[in-house]
Structure 1
Amino acid sequence: MNRIISPQAWKLIAKTLGVDEACLRAVAQVESSGGGFMRSPSQLPKILFEGHVFHRRTKGRFGASHPGLSYPRWDRSKYSGSMAGEWKRLDAASALDRVAALESASWGAFQIMGFNYAACGFDDVDAFVAAHKESADAQLAAFAHFISRPKFLDALRGRNWKGFAAAYNGPEFAKNRYDTKLATAYARFAAQSQ
């Protein structure tokens, strides 16, 4: 299992998508500090469990009994503060509704939500999760499939950071300065490649 995306994989995906490699690397940097796995010796991918998504996907069934896992609106204070803690939250939610829990976490280097499994080329969320556990290159391949639509590709090809941020991170991207972070990361990677 490769825990770091190989240089060959970056080059191949960039060429296939017709996108500057530095753009792709910038997304990984902003989403996960560039790596999709927890520190060794763990073999698990990075995740972030989103209780408000779990609440939606389970129609609020667990809101009263498990308010730390299921709540109607995004709430930063519900995060555990560590990757190991996020896995504990995911495991606890999985005991309630496994599929909904897996779909309610963002996965790997590109922090793609599990409910996007079909847009990443998978038949179900289990196959999506298995790929994210398999290798960093498999995470990159899922991301490439996910962004192979015009709203993502056109923005990346044109380095339209606001457009990409809105499509990838949602309409409230500006709260976290997602577009500015992407532009800064891109500038760093582009300078390194010269």
Structure 2
Amino acid sequence: MVDQSDSERHASKMAKKKAARDKIMATKTDQKGLIIIHTGKGKGKSSAAFGMIFRCIAHDMKSAVVQFIKGGMDCGERDLITAKFADLCEFYTMGEGFTWETQNKERDIEMAQAAWEKAKELIRNPENKMVLLDEINIALRYDYIDVNDVVAFLSTEKPPLTHVVLTGRNAKDELIEIADLVTEMELVKHPFRSGIKAQIGVEY
């Protein structure tokens, strides 16, 4: 049981924290379209990005998704968005699967470059408040797309209030340099290492 003096000390401490927090928040008045990167070896990069897409949908904000690699896989997010929220979120699956599955470098490059052209079209449209480029970092890692082209486009052509989210392992340093928000997912444990396959509702 918390006695009265403990409650009063806690209330006083929290009031001071709130005052300090309010003072900090009062200085944060700017808005801008963010370049957001989710990278690292840990799980959750695309899942976190789709969480932001669903936030946009919840606020009736137009958004769009371009999937660069995962075309060969089922995707619960894609099924839900295309079935229920196609009016708010355009969804383009431009990849045909991971590189070790397609085994066709020329075709992978062709599809990645087509996906990037579609991405640029969607980002240029000021109606889209957020555009998710899912697994683009993989395409960039293999040089299927020129990172300098991506950096130049995001730096000069992205509308000022449009958010762009880029996911995938091994984000290029050039992208990290221009990004506003970078999160690296750290792998601590993964069930795959224990012989457990990818499962509906967790991985896709």
> Between Structure 1 and Structure 2, which shows a larger proportion of strand residues?
2
Identify which of structures 1 and 2 has the higher relative contact order when contacts are C-alpha pairs closer than 8 Å and 6+ apart: 2
Largest Rg, 1 or 2: 2
TM-score normalized by structure 2?
Answer: 0.27
Normalised by the length of structure 1, the TM-score is: 0.28
